[in-house]
């Protein structure tokens, strides 16, 4: 059988970039978060869990970590209306919120999440994503632009470093383009 995975970003590349992002975020929030009012990191389950764990531990500003889950995908198809499964009621009033996302694709999930936490009274809500499929935004979601992005990638389906395909391949250390059996000749 031909290779089913093509490595796009190695684990070492991902971790190096995560350290850079953490340094940038720490600089940006240095003067606006304190131990009393820490940066609230909201990690999207389950895809962003390794990204968030690595990034959160590199930050040098006071931060708290919590988890949200928004259902958007079944296999390779994006569900049109994202729905919160976890974290909708997290109190964010007056807080600086940073969403830690694995990948922004059509933009629907992050649009819904950012709107929700603004409506819940957050002072600011920004997106930090490991990967950004910048050319995959759905019509009407072009304005979903993460403030922090690890890597821009083409519109290809990727797995590994937390990203799955129907719950498989999450634990691969690298981010790989996944070629399913049906795509192979």
> Nearest approach, Cβ of 154 to Mg ion (angstroms)?
18
Catalog residues that contact Mg ion under the rule CB under 5 A.
Answer: 44, 47, 102
Region 28-67 residues binding ligand IMP, contact defined as CB under 6 A: 44, 47
By CB under 6 A, residue 149 contacts ligand IMP: no
Q: Among 30-38, 60-68, 72-80, 84-92, which window interacts with ligand IMP (CB under 6 A)?
A: 72-80
Q: Is 3 exposed, middle or buried (0-12, 13-18, 19+ CB in 10 A)?
A: exposed
Q: Are 47 and 102 in contact (CB under 8 A)?
A: yes
> Nearest approach, Cβ of 104 to ligand IMP (angstroms)?
5
List, as one string, the DSSP characters of 35-102.
Answer: SSS-EEEEEEETTTHHHHHHHHHH--S-EEEEEEEEEEEETTEEEEEEEEEE-TT---TT-EEEEEEE
Annotated catalytic residue, options 105, 111, 132, 174: 105
State yes or no: is 111 an active-site residue. Answer: no
Contact mark string toward ligand IMP, 99..138, x via CB under 6 A: --xxxxxxxxx-----------------------------
First to last CA, the chain: 10
Binding interface with ligand IMP (CB under 6 A): 44, 47, 72-73, 78, 101-109, 157-159, 163
């Amino acid at each position: 059988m031909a290779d089913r995975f093509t490595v796009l970003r190695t684990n070492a590349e991902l971790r190096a970039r995560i350290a850079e992002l953490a340094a940038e975020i720490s600089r940006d929030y240095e003067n606006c978060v304190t131990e009393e009012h820490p940066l609230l990191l909201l990690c999207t389950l389950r895809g962003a869990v390794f990204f968030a764990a690595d990034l959160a531990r590199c930050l040098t500003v006071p931060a708290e970590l919590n988890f949200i889950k928004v259902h958007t995908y079944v296999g390779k198809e994006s569900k049109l209306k994202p729905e919160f499964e976890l974290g909708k009621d997290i109190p964010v009033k007056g807080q600086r919120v940073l969403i830690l996302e694995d990948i922004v694709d059509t933009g629907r999930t992050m649009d819904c999440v950012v709107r929700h936490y603004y409506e819940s009274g957050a002072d600011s809500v920004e997106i930090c994503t490991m990967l950004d499929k910048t050319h995959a935004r759905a019509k009407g979601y072009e304005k979903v632009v993460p403030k922090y992005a690890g890597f821009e990638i083409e519109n290809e389906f990727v797995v590994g470093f937390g990203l799955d395909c129907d719950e498989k391949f999450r634990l691969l250390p690298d981010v790989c383009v996944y070629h399913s059996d049906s795509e192979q000749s």
